[in-house]
Structure 1
Amino acid sequence: MKFLNKIIDDLLQKNVDLSKFTLVLPGKRPVVFIKKILQEKAYSGFLPEFYTIEELLKNISGKQQINGIAMWLFAYEIYKTQYDEDFGNFLKWFPTVLKDWDDILKFSESDLAVLDFMFDEERIKNWAENLNAEEENPRNKFLNFWRKQRNFLPLLKLKLQEKNYATAGMLHEIVKNKVQDFAQNTNENFVFCGFNAFTPVEQKLVKELLKWDKAICYFQADNYYMNDARQESGKFLREHKKWPEFNDSREFTWIENDFKSEKNIKIFEVSGNVSQTKLLPEIFSELSNNNSSNFDFTKTAVVLLDENLLPPTLDALSSIERINITMGFPLKNLGFSNAMKKIFHLQKQLQKNQNSYYYKDVLPILEELPKSPEDEILIQNFKKLLLERNIIYIAKNRLESELSGLSYFNLFQKKSAKELLLNLINYCFQLKFQPLDDIVYENISHFEKVFKTLQNQLNDYHFEMDVESLEVLINQLVNSESIDFQGEPLQGLQVMGLLETRLLNFENIILVSVNEGKLPLGNSQNTYLPFDVRREFNLHTFLENDSIYAYHFYRLLQDSKNVYLLYNALSSGLNTGEKSRFITQLEIESGLNIEHLVVENSIEPVNQDGIILEKTDEVLDKLEVWKTRVSASHLVNYLWNPVDFYLSQILKTRSEDSVEEELSQRNYGNLVHFALHFLYKNVIGKTLKESNLEDLLKQVDASLDDAIKTLNHEKEFYNSGMNYIHKSIAKRVVTDILNYDLNLIKKGNQLEIIDLEMRVENVEFPISESENIYFYGFIDRVDRLNGELRIIDYKTKKATNLFLKPKEDKIESLLMNKKMAQALQLSIYAYAILKSKKFPENHLQCGIWSFAETGKGVQNLQLFEETILDLNILEMPLESIRNLILEILNPEIPFAENTTQNYSN
């Protein structure tokens, strides 16, 4: 720590007793390093006092600083005496106004002058507000906003002063009037270490102490950016150097010349955000090889400019024994935090007095919250019920009957804000007794702390708060909270954010996410004050903030030997893929040797050949079993994709079910199918009369209700939206089929329903002279029309390729194509019926009745224009079916994935 060592050496030369000094630092982190340095120098005296500059201002002011929850609640208590606005809406704008107000108090001469300016500016823009009094003027809301702030903020300041409270900005305003007296009367010797930018009050305090010879300033600067007026990193230090307090008797210390020293700088252009962290092991390998085997990790820092990369960074550095993490991980990004958001969302829905729960509001909570084994059993059974019955909206009584035994079931019940807060505190407390990993435990503990703090603060106030306001308040807190990691800062690799590097120096620097928008942050300031207003009243804009970040960047690099700058070059989401302009400045202006490397993601190309599965002995044994129960759907499945056939028939796997928010094509077909079965089962064995079908037409609604029951669906599923439309279409299809049959009878045709869902099995089919397979299946409808036996298969899609007239050389492979799936299925059904001799006829018709073309009736399979089929005529399609089965059984032909065609029902 070169800079800190120089400070200690210089102070010891001035006075061997450091307790005579009070060190003022940008942050508390360097204190531990200062103590280490003193230990190494065998210092045996008392330590100096350590302050941050904020703590120093607070001590001078004599006020109690108020912020966070306490400030928001106190401010709202004042605000509601003047204006009628609920707490939730107040919280949406007040934190930003408070930040702006603090900026005004810190940097401007008068906060009232700025508030008057904003009010007057809106009045000027709104000069014609009274010309069309009847019309609503959208600018009025801005005028009213600043009119309210002009009244509210001065009142808030007065009330805070009465309680001896002060915001950060008010502390500056108070200290401004006390600086001279303090500097004159204090007996302390202050040492300001490593500061760059001061607020006007801080600057006045330092200069006044220098005048009275009660302060020493140590700046860490470099000629590289001090002597170049174009370098924004030296903007503030160049101004400090001109202070009259620095003269021949008191030099500006120190300006070094380290930046231009020889450095190993490498810039990595990486495709991907997380991909940057995957380079870290290689970088450390290079550093270790370039140095001795005793590589000192304590001289190395990984600086993350994107806090969200902390988890993948730690994963990439898992082989390093000692790592000290000095940055926090955002609380809002953790799983338990997401579950809390879901709970508040659910509670807001309950406040609307809804009679049911949307399943997507419930399941994420059940899945993300930590759970006991007993809770896990309840949740799995509940999820199984939702899948089986396809429940989208869960009735309150059903939720209670299924989940009342859940340890945290009270979180699913409607609560007031105070009741919910108490339940959450108790829940977090109980959770900590379960076996949890450290991160989850810390996550829960942070929420428990936030909830308890909020509860304690609310006890002092009496205004009503609804759940939505409570959610906004907690979100404001959680978004600013992070989980801090504890470690040993004097040992191992340092992982930190940029601001944590202040006053510290490292030989090896690795900066991750050096992208524009991350470094510097750019024009992303959350403020209600326009840029020109901030400039007019000398408030910091994004330009000053960029200068501050520029200083941190260049100061970090100036004493380093090895610098690795990684940035994400991939444009995706909010990331523009643009490297930081600081990198460009280094490349153009520094004159240092810089090595550029482009790193592409090492992703293997997609295998266009698809999966190939050889037929092992075990697979062949499974196929021998399959031969005893072969269905037409198995063969169709094979035609679409042999690998799907392998998964379903060999491995016996099935795709995972999920809740359908919109009725699938498959279940739409089942809905119509089950409704038809409900209607026609009452007339099986009858030669239909007009009265039979007219009676059935009256039962269509009942048939659909029965079909819904058979599908195990809830009636409410079909009450609105697309599912209501699907049910209406299904009703029309069922009605059209009944009417079609009715018209047949009216025209003098005889129609007899023989069977529905007819089961055929163990139908022998020879595939060679010595080998047979056995068909099984279910035929949707068997009837006789004018004495001719018909077998009918229902389809949701249109009938296709039912007219077969192939050339002789095409017969062997006629049906070995997915486009011929319907003809293949009908041929097998026809063969099974004729071969099993279930009926006296030795011929029949078979066809498709499409729900998409109900008006066409049954569209028959035709073989060379013959619709009356017997076993001899069927031999033609059966030959290609035989060849298809032989291909499936052939041990030399593997199951090869079909990558060019998608499966379709």
Structure 2
Amino acid sequence: MKPVAIVPWTEEFFAGLAERLVAATGGDFSNVLVLFPLRRAARHLCDRLAELPGLPLPLLLPEIAAVGEWTAGLGATFAPAPPVMLDALDRVAILHDIVTELAAADPEDSEFPTDITRFFPWGLELAELMEELLRQGVPGRDLAHMDGQVLAPAAALLARLGTIHDRYRERLTAEGLATPGLCVALAAENAEAIAASLDGRRIFACGFAVLSGAEKKLFHTLWKKDLLELIWHADPALADGGRPVHFACREHQRLLKDWKAKATVIAAGKARRLRTKADPARATLVLDADAANLSSKKLRFFEAHDLHAQLKVLETCLSDAPDLDSTAIVLPDTGLLSPVLHILPQKDVNISMGYPLARSALARLLETMLTLQETRLSAGRYHWRALVALLRHPYLKMLRLGPDEPLRAVFHGLEAAIRQGGAYVDPFGLPLPGGEDAPPSPEVLALAKRVLTVCLTAFDIVDTPRALGNALTGLAELLLDPDHAGDAWERFLIDAECLFRLATDVIPALTAGRLADAALPTATLFALLRRLLADERAPFEAEPLTGLQVMGVLETRLMSFKRVFVLDAVEDKIPGAPRYDALLPDTLRRLLALPDSRERDLVAAYNLYRLFFGAEEITVFYRTGATGTGLFEDRPSRSRFVEQLLWEEEKRLGRVLTPGEPPVSIVRLPPCPIPKADAALPVTPAVAERLAAYLADKRLSATFFDTYLACPLRFFYRYLSPLAALAEVAEDGDRAAVGEVVHEVLRDYFTPFLGRDIDGADLDPGELAALYESRMRASPAYAALPPDGQLLLLRSGRARLADAVAATPRTVPLALETELVASLEVDGRSYPLAGRADRIDRREDGIVILDYKTGSLSLPKNTVWRDEALWSRIGAAGGLGPYDETLLDLVAKRFGSVQLPLYCWLHAVSRHETPADAAFVELRDRGQERPLFGPRLEPEARNEAIRRQTPQLLACLVRNLRDAPSFAPRPDERRCPYCDYRAACGA
């Protein structure tokens, strides 16, 4: 039995491996098999063999295989017939049949999830557990009394786990089926026969950190037959008995003990051999010291607040490096790839990592389509936000007709139409507008309708995995249609790879299998699709070039670099939190002799430390300030492996390192607070010209003055700028449209009562409510609401209008929705003013002007009319006095609105009769009238307020508007969240 050969992890593994292969075989690889834990290692070995001096070229390379594929292929030869490999859905179908049979045999056990819909999520977990039992060579056994530790369905399945496992394997064998796990198990069970068939071959198992149970049994058999030699990249102390072995190599140490094997260190690399010849004793000392700790390395740690600070320092480190040859940037999370690529000093980098399909643009398109179905109402009405997200997706907008991309204009117009409707929209009921110059051609309309049909209608009725797969096939055919795709997939290679994975892996898994025609709820089907997408990865498998490489942690296996940068080395990424398994939690895995999180953490430690020991410069970045991803959103902490490195450094120094002391640096980016700038918009000559033109041509309304009082900057955007408010769907209802309906209903209801003496007793609330309901049901604002919103709008509207008519005092309605117009003289210039009074009544005290309010209202207090100091300032500002900078804020605070005073003055001037009062009818409450003056203000004071003070106030506002040097914002927590121009406002 051959001793285990160890390439010290301070040396380059593939160089030592190549030398060992040549030394063991003399360069004759005709009967040599080299096994690796990953397929990509073959390319690295071939490069090192080509670089070896003295090796005659050309030569026959050894057979190189990944251990998983090799063992599965061997195991398949021991099946009774060439087996048919099952995918995940087929395994779930077989397990469902077995569980149904067990439930039928034991009707008292009601916790068995026999219904396919209820069983499906458990079936996916159960299929994974069956695979792991087979790969580990562990017989399944019943786990009783699991109640309270797992959910009831999981406890029922675990209680019969041994029976399920046995029947599952029997079914696979009887029907000529197989899974990768079963093939590996068959290889382990027939290890003696495999050893006999491989007699005379030389097998090298290279670079394994941990073996599954089945692989360990097969390797042990071949090793005892002297057919297999293990070559590790590990701590050379494994071969030294006098020095403690690094904790990351405990699995190697355990295997040596279990197999009663010896280990020997083999030389690696030209530089190491030359130094050994010059001074063998010194070389051995250096080797031992390097392998024991990392003190001889250049260690740097950067503690940052967030990812942005890490990237900033990484960019600086890359720029300061003398060269980027043999440099690796290690990313524990694929989500870091995109931001890292933006800060690299060179773009010709080698990316060696898999990119999850779930993070791709294709997955976002699919997620949008699934969201559309999950939020869809009956009759094909979809939520507007998801529809807009669909129309904005670049895959759809880039579809072509010849050299043009006409869908951009069509979808832009369709989006504008969607934003004018309600929260739920039928896109097929909307027109499909084209560009500005001409309407879309029939070909363009056909393509647009095909897109909507493929993305919406095709998914409306999916009820089986096959139907879902067929709907996805339609999407793939649309995107790949050569008449519409153009050269897009030749330019966007990663997107093309993701689409390829969808077409060749995801869709066949749905359409070809035992569960393909099983009727499943939509939620289950969509959960299945999301699970399949999450399991797919688009690989970056570039050549193992020298220079700068961007890699994941797993992709660094067996490779060595001169310079290593590890980004975001926090505990939830390295080693990371284990995936929660609802069927067999981590705490129960030892009951089945399955590896748990401790072994996973040990493998992560080996991968990281092996990388560190092979490097000369190690730079680790981690964050401590940004919120973490834990249950309680705890702050992230640096990885336990980083803590181990710091602890070793502190032991070497003999003291505790303080924050900011080398080698630990705290990243302190210079604070860049947002400068406090004046958000006011100055009145330039162009703005002054536009304002003068508006004042000369337009009638000034109450809304005009109230907008200026509330916020001068908003006034500018609304009246003087070309900006239009962004069209957004009011998901809780269009309040303005509802208000218009209410005004129309009240106008038509009171029309028959004009000139009649009435009060609340003369009005029929039921008639008003019926009129309101009929008008509201015909309103587009009502149709845009969901059913619960429609019901609430009808019930609340009926109740509040009934309260309003019941609160009507004795009155005689004279006019409804009456236009009032008059002119105001300011500095010798006449300004037309206008207003529309909702209702004008005659009462005991005289004329009363009413305005219906469905929203909030603001009324001045009576004391404002007696404030002589205030009116003195208003008079001065309205005349020829100097510009008063603070007066506008004071007037806005004291008055709030000038609508009712303006209406009273307009009526007094145009109708030559001074109103006795004016009032808001507060419809959002109980229909009570909120008077402008009320009984506490004497008639003489009212007449003074209307005839003299109101025009004085209006003149003051006109002059303030005309003379103001800027339009300043007036932030208000009640109004700002609903402002149409908040995106453009600097305040």
| TM-score, scaled relative to structure 2 | 0.78
Superposition pairs of residues 408-419 of structure 1, within 5 angstroms: 408=451, 409=453, 411-412=456-457, 413-417=460-464, 418-419=466-467
Q: Residues 824 and 951 of structure 2 are in contact (CA less than 8 Å); yes or no, is this contact kept in structure 1? A: no
> CA, structure 1 residues 886+346, in 2 after alignment: closer, same or farther (shift >3 Å)?
closer
Superposition pairs of residues 808-887 of structure 1, within 5 angstroms: 808-811=868-871, 812-813=873-874, 816-835=890-909, 837=910, 839-841=911-913, 845-852=917-924, 854=926, 856-857=928-929, 859-861=931-933, 865-866=938-939, 869-870=942-943, 873-887=946-960
Map of 2:685 onto structure 1: 617
Aligned-partner Cα distance in 1 for 2:914–2:527: 77
> CA, structure 1 residues 641+546, in 2 after alignment: closer, same or farther (shift >3 Å)?
same
Q: Residues 281 and 316 of structure 1 are in contact (CA less than 8 Å); yes or no, is this contact kept in structure 2? A: yes
1:702 maps to which of 771, 794, 798: 771
1:407 maps to which of 447, 450, 454: 450
Aligned-partner Cα distance in 2 for 1:88–1:733: 47
SS class of match (2:813): strand
Q: Residues 273 and 513 of structure 1 are in contact (CA less than 8 Å); yes or no, is this contact kept in structure 2? A: yes
Deviation sequence 1:509-544 (CA, Å, 0-9, x none): 121221112111244453633556433443211011
Q: Residues 919 and 929 of structure 2 are in contact (CA less than 8 Å); yes or no, is this contact kept in structure 1? A: no
Q: Residues 672 and 733 of structure 1 are in contact (CA less than 8 Å); yes or no, is this contact kept in structure 2? A: no
Map of 1:801 onto structure 2: 860
Deviation, 1:85, is: 3.3
Instruction: Kindly provide the amino acid, as one letter, of the partner of residue 161 in structure 1.
Output: T
Aligned-partner Cα distance in 2 for 1:460–1:735: 59
> CA, structure 1 residues 103+415, in 2 after alignment: closer, same or farther (shift >3 Å)?
closer
Superposition pairs of residues 115-134 of structure 1, within 5 angstroms: 115-116=141-142, 118-119=143-144, 121-122=145-146
2:471 corresponds to 1:471: no
2:252 corresponds to 1:237: yes
Deviation sequence 1:296-328 (CA, Å, 0-9, x none): 34x1111111122222222333x5221222222
Structure 2 portions without partners, runs of 5+: 1-10, 104-112, 269-286, 400-404, 434-444, 654-661, 875-886, 979-987
Deviation, 1:873, is: 5.0
Aligned-partner Cα distance in 1 for 2:570–2:763: 74
Map of 1:753 onto structure 2: 814
1:305 maps to which of 326, 329, 332: 332
2:485 corresponds to 1:425: no
Q: Residues 470 and 511 of structure 2 are in contact (CA less than 8 Å); yes or no, is this contact kept in structure 1? A: no
2:20 corresponds to 1:10: yes
Superposition pairs of residues 173-188 of structure 1, within 5 angstroms: 173-186=185-198, 187-188=200-201
Aligned-partner Cα distance in 1 for 2:803–2:258: 94
Map of 2:598 onto structure 1: 543
Aligned-partner Cα distance in 1 for 2:950–2:470: 73
Superposition pairs of residues 332-371 of structure 1, within 5 angstroms: 332-344=358-370, 357=382, 359=384, 362=387, 364-368=389-393, 370-371=396-397
Map of 1:388 onto structure 2: 420
Aligned-partner Cα distance in 2 for 1:701–1:228: 93
- Range moving further from structure 2, 565-574 or 219-228: 219-228
Superposition pairs of residues 59-98 of structure 1, within 5 angstroms: 59-61=73-75, 62=77, 66-76=86-96, 85-98=114-127
Structure 1 portions without partners, runs of 5+: 127-137, 746-750
2:242 corresponds to 1:170: no
Superposition pairs of residues 302-701 of structure 1, within 5 angstroms: 302-317=329-344, 319-344=345-370, 357=382, 359=384, 362=387, 364-368=389-393, 370-371=396-397, 372=399, 379-380=411-412, 383-390=415-422, 392-394=423-425, 398=429, 406-408=449-451, 409=453, 411-412=456-457, 413-417=460-464, 418-433=466-481, 434=485, 436=488, 437-454=492-509, 457-458=512-513, 463-464=518-519, 467-526=522-581, 528-531=583-586, 533-569=588-624, 570-574=626-630, 576=634, 577-590=636-649, 595-599=663-667, 604-607=672-675, 611-628=679-696, 629=698, 630-663=700-733, 666=736, 669-684=739-754, 686-688=755-757, 694=763, 698-701=767-770
- Range moving further from structure 2, 263-272 or 493-502: 263-272
Q: Residues 91 and 472 of structure 1 are in contact (CA less than 8 Å); yes or no, is this contact kept in structure 2? A: no
SS class of match (2:38): coil
1:744 maps to which of 789, 810, 834: 810
Map of 1:712 onto structure 2: 780
Instruction: Kindly provide the amino acid, as one letter, of the partner of residue 308 in structure 1.
Output: G
Aligned-partner Cα distance in 2 for 1:554–1:540: 21
> CA, structure 1 residues 695+868, in 2 after alignment: closer, same or farther (shift >3 Å)?
farther
Q: Residues 267 and 596 of structure 1 are in contact (CA less than 8 Å); yes or no, is this contact kept in structure 2? A: yes
| TM-score, scaled relative to structure 1 | 0.85
Deviation, 1:499, is: 0.8
Instruction: Kindly provide the amino acid, as one letter, of the partner of residue 489 in structure 1.
Output: P
Deviation sequence 1:736-764 (CA, Å, 0-9, x none): 333344x405xxxxx1322315253xx43
Aligned-partner Cα distance in 2 for 1:701–1:95: 56
Deviation sequence 1:728-786 (CA, Å, 0-9, x none): 33323333333344x405xxxxx1322315253xx432332x44543334332233334
Aligned-partner Cα distance in 1 for 2:817–2:859: 23
Map of 2:962 onto structure 1: 889
Q: Residues 336 and 440 of structure 1 are in contact (CA less than 8 Å); yes or no, is this contact kept in structure 2? A: yes
Aligned-partner Cα distance in 2 for 1:467–1:401: 30
> CA, structure 1 residues 218+879, in 2 after alignment: closer, same or farther (shift >3 Å)?
same
> CA, structure 1 residues 712+571, in 2 after alignment: closer, same or farther (shift >3 Å)?
same
Deviation, 1:649, is: 1.8
Q: Residues 20 and 48 of structure 1 are in contact (CA less than 8 Å); yes or no, is this contact kept in structure 2? A: yes
Instruction: Kindly provide the amino acid, as one letter, of the partner of residue 908 in structure 2.
Output: L
Deviation, 1:637, is: 2.1
> CA, structure 1 residues 725+541, in 2 after alignment: closer, same or farther (shift >3 Å)?
same
> CA, structure 1 residues 895+902, in 2 after alignment: closer, same or farther (shift >3 Å)?
farther
Map of 1:101 onto structure 2: 130
- Range moving further from structure 2, 402-411 or 556-565: 402-411
> CA, structure 1 residues 230+80, in 2 after alignment: closer, same or farther (shift >3 Å)?
same
Instruction: Kindly provide the amino acid, as one letter, of the partner of residue 31 in structure 1.
Output: A
> CA, structure 1 residues 851+541, in 2 after alignment: closer, same or farther (shift >3 Å)?
same
> CA, structure 1 residues 725+228, in 2 after alignment: closer, same or farther (shift >3 Å)?
farther
Q: Residues 93 and 515 of structure 2 are in contact (CA less than 8 Å); yes or no, is this contact kept in structure 1? A: no
Deviation, 1:33, is: 2.0
Map of 1:764 onto structure 2: 823
2:306 corresponds to 1:266: no
> CA, structure 1 residues 595+764, in 2 after alignment: closer, same or farther (shift >3 Å)?
farther
Deviation sequence 1:15-67 (CA, Å, 0-9, x none): 12344432111212222222222233364111111111212322332255644
- Range moving further from structure 2, 185-194 or 867-876: 867-876
SS class of match (1:195): coil
2:82 corresponds to 1:48: no
1:783 maps to which of 841, 854, 867: 841
> CA, structure 1 residues 286+182, in 2 after alignment: closer, same or farther (shift >3 Å)?
same
Q: Residues 566 and 619 of structure 2 are in contact (CA less than 8 Å); yes or no, is this contact kept in structure 1? A: yes
Aligned-partner Cα distance in 2 for 1:740–1:900: 33
2:280 corresponds to 1:280: no
2:204 corresponds to 1:191: yes
SS class of match (1:698): helix
Deviation sequence 1:330-389 (CA, Å, 0-9, x none): 212234324424544655788x97785555665544444624466556655555454434
2:210 corresponds to 1:150: no
Q: How many equivalent residue pairs?
A: 862
> CA, structure 1 residues 521+458, in 2 after alignment: closer, same or farther (shift >3 Å)?
same
Q: Residues 747 and 816 of structure 2 are in contact (CA less than 8 Å); yes or no, is this contact kept in structure 1? A: no
Deviation sequence 1:61-91 (CA, Å, 0-9, x none): 2255644445445544655566583444333
